[in-house]
Structure 1
Amino acid sequence: MFLEVDDGTLLHYETDGDPGRPALLLWHGARCTLRQWDYVTPRLTDRFFLVKFDIRGAGYSRASSSTDYNFTTYATDACRLLESLGIDKCHIWSMAWGSRAALAFCAFEQERVISAALFDLNIGEADIKAQQAGYREAMRRLSEEGFTPPTLPNGWNHHIDKTSLDLSLTAATKSDLSSLAPLITRPVLIATGDHDPNLRSSREAAKLIRGAKMVELRNIGHGSVLMHPDLCIQVFKEFAKQHI
């Protein structure tokens, strides 16, 4: 499905579950699409009405030529999507780059947020090489324990416009998330792998957000939801059940 917003941008989105249940808005990671959540959604429709979308410029969403790629724009897009579905308030689950955008959304639109689970959060500068190295080490350790990761969902990184995709990611350089984090007053879970270099920044963010809960995921690298969806679902559900 597509939603056209004010400037002509087309947002690609999907919904799953009963609209009468609490809404859960899902934010995907960098260079991912809403397909990132395909292993997650069937396990959550018994509790939530799921809303997943490609941010403007990514996946099948088409950004207008006048787009200003920043987190204010993304927050406004999310608001328009929720409004179109008749949703006043929602829970949030995000991963990696999406947790940056979701944090900003929570700061800008607190009246719309019930709770937020920010996985693999980094409020500073990302170290891509360290993320890749940490992922490999985590996979090695999981393999030693007999764990086989699931195949990545079809289309999890398919984008119709690579130029707009690259532009979409520049939003992370335009906001000081460390100044936005203390503004959040809703319940927050931050969950990050112990082999993800984002962990240090996640800990810092947890200190900045009043009452935030920090969970460190054992033998998990960057891209936790794709790497070990079962574990991430378990951690998310444990947090979410306290706020439904």
Structure 2
Amino acid sequence: MATIAVNGTTINYADEGPQDAPALLFAHSMFFDHRMFAAQAEAFADGYRVIRYDLRGQGDSQRHPREALDFDTQTEDARALIEGLQLRDVTFVGNSMGGFIGLRLAARHPDLLRSLVVLGTSADIEEAAEGMDALAAVVREQGIEPVIDGVLYFMLGDTSLNDPSRAHVLAEARAVVGSRTPEYADAAWHIAHRPAILGELPNITVPLTVVAGTEDHTYPPPKSEQIAAAVPHAKLVVMERTGHVHALENPDAVNAVLEDHLAAL
């Protein structure tokens, strides 16, 4: 692991693969960190420079007060990270919160990206804002434990929650989410209060693949369909037996989507 100072913060990241190769830049979901894309790093680091980073305020990246965790700022973090690491031919891959950043980055800085893949995300306002506010308040005051089962329900699909063959996925997700400390409430607050960027989506000109999970309890397929409809060249992929954290729940299927996306470039 390494760190880099960019945009007024210090970002923790993993850097694997040939330094002069085209880059895959991975941004994770709320409550997770760069480790959620371990299977993708293993699959693609032979031919790509694979960068997985912890968003500001999460993982091992620098902590900040609530007012410094908005998605405009985090989009500029991603821009500065690309420039600071001198990445080339970048495909940005973002899950949920990482997708919020990826869509903004592609719309505002298309010159920095070769392409974009977003999984289980939304360009709309948060429809469950009241519930997210309540969750953030509990996490801030009491920690994650009182709400961990609810968080896992929104992160994992029914198959991952109930199928014994995926017990390892549930155990891993519970361990990661259960380790989160009260300051994570500040990042969660910004999910509830982020503005919609539906009007910016037509500015996305790079190749875009939008991935939905049929069992996503947080942003079900219509949210992905909304994004794809606003970007005429976008490709929509609906992934069966998958909830909100695709790379953990169905890593082989995610790798296949990335292979197809990269081959089409």
- Tell me the TM-score range normalised by the shorter chain: 0.7 to 0.9
Q: How far did 1:116 drift?
A: 0.6
Structure 2 portions without partners, runs of 5+? 133-149
Contact 2:155–2:245 (CA<8 Å) still a contact in 1? no
How many pairs are equivalent? 239
- Rate the CA distance shift 1:10–1:161 in 2: closer, same or farther, 3 A: farther
Report the TM-score when normalising by structure 2.
0.79
Q: How far did 1:188 drift?
A: 0.3
Q: How far did 1:149 drift?
A: 5.6
- C-alpha distance in 2, partners of 1:130/1:217? 21
- Rate the CA distance shift 1:149–1:215 in 2: closer, same or farther, 3 A: farther
- C-alpha distance in 2, partners of 1:140/1:57? 28
- SS across alignment from 2:172: coil
- C-alpha distance in 2, partners of 1:192/1:99? 12
Of 165-174 and 94-103, deviating more is: 165-174
- SS across alignment from 1:222: coil
- The one of 169, 172, 184 equivalent to 2:188 is 169
- Rate the CA distance shift 1:159–1:112 in 2: closer, same or farther, 3 A: farther
- C-alpha distance in 1, partners of 2:197/2:27? 16
**Would you say 1:208 and 2:208 are equivalent positions?**
no
Q: How far did 1:182 drift?
A: 1.8
Structure 1 portions without partners, runs of 5+? none
Give 1 or 2: higher helix fraction: 2
- Rate the CA distance shift 1:185–1:133 in 2: closer, same or farther, 3 A: closer
Of 129-138 and 37-46, deviating more is: 129-138
- C-alpha distance in 1, partners of 2:63/2:104? 20
Per the alignment, residue 120 of structure 2 pairs with: 120
Contact 1:191–1:217 (CA<8 Å) still a contact in 2? yes
- Rate the CA distance shift 1:139–1:175 in 2: closer, same or farther, 3 A: same
Identity between Structure 1 and Structure 2 (%): 19
| RMSD, matched Cα | 2.9
- C-alpha distance in 1, partners of 2:78/2:156? 30
* Relative contact order, higher structure (CA 8 A, sep 6+): 1
Contact 1:57–1:161 (CA<8 Å) still a contact in 2? no
